[in-house]
A and B are shown apart, each in its own frame.
Chain A
Amino acid sequence: MTTNEKTAAEVKNPSNRFFEQTWDLQYKHALGSTVSRFLDGLAEGKIWGRRTTDGRVLVPARSYDDITHEKTGEWVEVANTGTIEMFTIVYEAFKGLPTPPYALAYVMLEGADTALVGYVQGIDLHDRASAIAALQIGTRVDVRFAEKPAGTAADYWFELGATPKQ
């Protein structure tokens, strides 16, 4: 008998045994000087980008460019306001990830040519239709910063914008 002819009972025989395991691995990743300076800027309420050789501003700051493959140069501080380029609202709980609901968006800050990802806070996500309407592409948002920065990318998030476009 080939495997494809096996009955459901054989395939799920309750006497078949299992081996259970959990992976608990630890890492301490060096983030390098470019990422470190970006994260330092969050403590000062600043979002930094880096200018590419063809004049684009990469946010968050990266030391090399995906298009030209050249190193980036000048540090450029971009605005703390921008517009939503895409978003999602998560309602499903995934093991090891935060408790839903939460909203994520990629935001194009003024002065940047690439979008920055972050949580969007301050919206009632349980009212789904209203939340979806509030987060549509083009919506103005402000960057908010943690009062007590932890030195990670969690030190910033977005909220619906009060600042008009400059």
Chain B
Amino acid sequence: MINVGIAGFGQSHFQTTRTDVTFPELVKEGADLALADADISIGKVDAVVYPLAPDALIGVSNGERWVIDALGATGKPFMRVNNGGATGMSAVLTAWTHIASGLFDVVLVAGADRVSESGSAQSVLNKMWDVGYERTVPLNTITMLALSAQRYMHLYNSDETDMALVTVKNRKHASLNPYAHLRTLITVEEVLATRTLAWPIKLGDACPASTGAAGVVLVSEKYAKKNGLKPAWIRGIGQNTETFWMGNRVGEKALGDHADADALGYAFDIAYAQAGITDPVNQVHVAEVYAPFSSVELHVIEAARLAEKGRSPRDLRAGKFALGSEGPVVNPSGGTLCTNPIAVTGTIRVGEAANQVLGRAGAHQVPNARVAIASAIGGDHQFYSTMVLCSDLEEI
């Protein structure tokens, strides 16, 4: 298989609203920033992959039609990718496939979101559920993960303070990241005092609705060598999918438990095997994992094999996973919890991981990071993507 690298990453300074640009203009911002960072002109791009989650969130049907010119995609092969919250990373995996197959040498992934333009986001997301059986109950992305968080707390004797510790850590990280949306420090007591959305999830456990753009440029090993580029190399990828029905994720005969992220764990195992990683705690230096609520980061850390099942709260209390601690640092950018422009959130995970292994992450750089992982989750905790990145192509 052909080696593929991340040659450039660009992102906006994320905020709640932007009134200076239209949606396509915002998408162009992501494309321009990514191409500029890679120092590759649009003329060199062989194909474009565009991440966009549900159309109703941006208020335009088949929004990919609207942004073709913003992406510079006219005259080029083009695909839109939608895997819910995993969209931004699934798009990168699609681009990887484009290059690893030998078909293309340079692929642009860029997009944007402005979630706050619709005050009806949770009503849109409620419409993910089955019309016959589940739509009469007001499920949405917050309640679906509150159910998971409650079950995790029960199974592993964890509590709301464990969730708050995730927020405290990530806000501290985000305060060092000039692109992050929520950058103010917060204490455990302050998180616990925020209003309850769907117990046990409180406002302080939840991601913001972010506006901004992001993009990455992927290149083949051949193109990188010919042009003297030093990209972050993609050393392993994994994908997995879980049943639509949350009620099938409980009970003795379930394939995976809704408290955990077992299917994501399997996707990490696939990526680790490709990369030659056998001991993630000691071989992975940085993790940029998709967790839109504090509770999700707990079981994603475990799915990434960075802690045993049910033990990530204990490790967090011991100060692990934070910048400056021993062992893998989780979400040094502040993560999805501090910045969530849905369509490109997964793209940012890959871009941040790439910056880390190249030593380009700035104030939130993990010293001497060589190996990073990235992951994303979409649907009703249903679509999973994983990736291992490394600064070189030597044995990990």
> What's the count of A-B pairs with C-beta under 8 Å?
160
Are B132 and A92 closer than 8 Å at their CB atoms? no
As a 0/1 sequence over residues 173 to 210 of chain B, the CB contacts with chain A under 8 angstroms (1 = contact) are: 00000000000000000000001111111000000000
Number of interface residues of A (CB under 8 A): 56
Cβ distance A106 to chain B, nearest Cβ, rounded Å: 5
Partner of B246, one of A16, A89, A106, A119: A106
In contact, B133 and A153 (Cβ under 8 angstroms): yes
Number of interface residues of B (CB under 8 A): 58
Task: Knowing A12-B19, A31-B132, A136-B154, say if A102 contacts B138 (CB, 8 Å).
Answer: yes
CB of A44 within 8 Å of the partner chain: no
Chain B residues within an 8 Å CB radius of A87: 147, 150
Q: Mark B130-159, 1 if CB is under 8 A from A, else 0.
A: 011111111110110011101100100000
**Contact partners of B32 in chain A: CB under 8 A:** 3
CB distance from B122 to the nearest CB of A (A): 4
B104 within 8 A of A: no
Q: List B contacts of A116 (CB < 8 A).
A: 247
A164 within 8 A of B: no
Which residues on the A side are within 8 Å of B29 (C-beta)? 3
Q: Are B247 and A90 in contact (CB under 8 A)?
A: no
Cα A117 to Cα B138 with chains together (Å) = 10
Across the interface, B18 reaches (CB within 8 A) one of A11, A35, A90, A95, namely A11
What B residues does A12 contact at CB under 8 A?
Answer: 17-20
Nearest chain B residue, comparing its CB with the CB of A115: B247
Contact between chains at A88 and B198 (CB < 8 Å):
yes
Q: Which residues of A contact B245 (CB under 8 A)?
A: 62, 66, 114
- Determine whether the beta carbon of A91 is less than 8 Å from that of B17: no
Q: How far is the CA of A95 from the CA of B150 in the complex (A)?
A: 24
Which of A86, A114, A116, A119 has most B Cβ within 10 Å? A86
B137 touching A118, Cβ below 8 Å: yes
Q: Which residue of B lies closest to A113 (CB)?
A: B253
Chain B residue at minimum C-beta to C-beta distance from A96: B123
- CB atoms of A11 and B15 under 8 A apart: yes
Let me know if A86 and B148 touch, CB within 8 A: yes
Most buried by B among A39, A102, A153: A153
Determine which of A66, A91, A104, A152 lies in contact with B244 in the assembled complex, contact meaning CB atoms within 8 Å: A66
Find out whether the CB atom of A114 lies under 8 angstroms from the CB atom of B247: yes
Which residues, 240 to 275 on B, are CB-close (under 8 Å) to A? Answer: 243-248, 250-255, 258-259
Decide: A97 and B140 in contact? CB cutoff 8 A: yes
Contact call A13/B20, Cβ cutoff below 8 A: yes
Q: Is the CB of A91 within 8 A of B197?
A: yes
A94 and B154 within 8 A (CB) = no
Q: Do A95 and B250 touch across chains, with their CB atoms under 8 A apart?
A: no
Q: How far is the CA of A136 from the CA of B153 in the complex (A)?
A: 11
Least Cβ distance of B246 to chain A in Å? 7
Nearest CB of A to B135, in Å: 7
Say whether B76 faces chain A, with CB atoms less than 8 Å apart.
Answer: no
Query: Which positions 71-95 of chain A face chain B at CB distance < 8 Å?
Result: 85-92, 94-95
Most buried by B among A32, A108, A117: A117
Q: How far is the CB of A155 from chain B (nearest CB, A)?
A: 9
Residues of A within 8 A of B246 (CB): 106, 115, 117
The verdict on A86 contacting B140 (CB below 8 Å), with A67-B255, A117-B134 known, is no
Q: Are A88 and B154 in contact (CB under 8 A)?
A: no
On chain B, the residues within 8 Å of A92 by CB distance are 142, 195-198
- B120 contacts A by Cβ under 8 Å: yes
Q: A23 and B56: CB pair below 8 A? A: yes
Residues in B neighbouring A153, C-beta threshold 8 A: 132-137
Q: Report chain B residues within 8 Å CB of A98.
A: 138
0 or 1 for each of A7-24: is its CB under 8 Å from B? (1 = yes): 000111100101001010
Per-residue B-contact encoding for A51-74, CB less than 8 Å = 1, 0 else: 000001011101000110000000
For the complex with contacts A32-B132, A88-B198, A132-B199, 14 further pairs of A-B residues with Cβ separation under 8 Å are A11-B18, A12-B17, A21-B59, A23-B59, A66-B248, A85-B251, A86-B259, A87-B150, A90-B143, A90-B197, A90-B199, A91-B196, A114-B245, A115-B247
Interfacial residues, chain A to chain B (CB-CB below 8 A): 2-4, 6, 10-13, 16, 18, 21, 23, 29, 31-32, 35, 38-39, 56, 58-60, 62, 66-67, 85-92, 94-98, 102, 104, 106, 108, 113-119, 128, 132, 136-137, 152-154
Residues of B within 8 A of A (CB): 12-13, 15, 17-21, 29, 32-33, 36, 56, 59, 119-120, 122-123, 126, 131-140, 142-143, 146-148, 150-151, 154, 195-201, 243-248, 250-255, 258-259
7 pairs of residues in contact across A and B, judged by CB atoms under 8 Å: A60-B133, A85-B250, A94-B142, A95-B119, A96-B120, A115-B248, A152-B136
